[in-house]
Amino acid sequence: MIKDWISQFSDNIKKYGGYSIGKLFALLSDPEIISLAGGLPSPDMFLKEEMRIASQKLLDKELESIFQYTNIQGESSFIQAIIKFLKRDNIHISEENIVITSSGQHGLDITGRLFLNPGDVVIIDRPTFAGAIVAFQMQRPEFVGVDIEDDGPDINGFRQKIEELKKKNKSPKFIYVVPDFQNPSGITMSLEKREALLDLSYEYDIPIVEDSPYRDLRYYGETIPSIYGLDQKRKGGNVIGLYTFSKLFCPGIRVGFNIGPKDVIKRMINIKEGNLLNTPKYNQDMCTAFLTEMDMETHLEKCRKYYREKLNVFLKTMESCFPIEMGVTWTKPEGGLFLWVTVPEHIDTQELFYEAIKFKVAFVPGEVFYGENPAKNHMRINFSYASKEQLAEAVKRLSGCIKKQL
Site mask for ligand PLP (CB under 6 A), range 112-151, x = bound? -----------------x-x--------------------
Pairwise CA distance, residues 179 & 224, whole Å: 9
Q: Give min distance, CB of 256 to ligand PLP, in A.
A: 5
Residues 6+ apart with CB under 8 A from 166: none
Query: Residue 5 region, left (φ>0) first, then alpha (ψ -120 to 50), else beta?
Result: alpha
Asked whether position 211 contacts ligand PLP by CB under 6 A, the answer is yes
CB contact burial 96-108 (16+ within 10 A = b; e otherwise): ebbbbbbbbbbbb
Identify which range of 46-54, 63-71, 100-108, 265-273 contacts ligand PLP by CB under 6 A. Answer: 100-108
Amino acid at 79: I
Bridge pairing between strands 208-211 and 174-177: parallel
Angle (CA) 221 227 229, round 5°: 95
Q: Give min distance, CB of 128 to ligand PLP, in A.
A: 8
Asked whether position 284 contacts ligand PLP by CB under 6 A, the answer is no
DSSP state of 335: B
Asked whether position 241 contacts ligand PLP by CB under 6 A, the answer is no
Amino acid at 252: G
Which value, to the nearest 10 degrees, does the dihedral of the CA atoms of residues 284, 289, 292, 297 take?
Answer: -100
Among 73, 97, 244, 317, the residue binding ligand PLP under the rule CB under 6 A is: 244
Q: Give min distance, CB of 383 to ligand PLP, in A.
A: 14
Asked whether position 176 contacts ligand PLP by CB under 6 A, the answer is no
CB of 401 within 8 A of CB of 352? yes
Judged by beta carbon, residue 229 or residue 336, the one nearer ligand PLP is 336
CB of 213 within 8 A of CB of 244? yes
The secondary structure element, H or E, covering residue 188 is none
Q: Give min distance, CB of 287 to ligand PLP, in A.
A: 12
| Residue 340, φ and ψ in degrees, nearest 5 | -125, 120
CB of 189 within 8 A of CB of 151? yes
- 3-state DSSP call for residue 273? helix
Asked whether position 178 contacts ligand PLP by CB under 6 A, the answer is yes
Asked whether position 180 contacts ligand PLP by CB under 6 A, the answer is no
Asked whether position 335 contacts ligand PLP by CB under 6 A, the answer is no
Judged by beta carbon, residue 198 or residue 248, the one nearer ligand PLP is 248
| Count of residues that interact with ligand PLP, criterion CB under 6 A | 14
Asked whether position 246 contacts ligand PLP by CB under 6 A, the answer is yes
Identify which range of 116-124, 140-148, 244-252, 348-356 contacts ligand PLP by CB under 6 A. Answer: 244-252
Of 336, 334, 325, 312, the C-alpha closest to 395 is 312
Asked whether position 382 contacts ligand PLP by CB under 6 A, the answer is no
Judged by beta carbon, residue 78 or residue 129, the one nearer ligand PLP is 129
Q: Give min distance, CB of 131 to ligand PLP, in A.
A: 5
Q: Give min distance, CB of 319 to ligand PLP, in A.
A: 26
Q: For binding to ligand PLP (CB under 6 A), which residues are involved? A: 39, 103-105, 129, 131, 178, 183, 211, 213, 244, 246, 251, 256
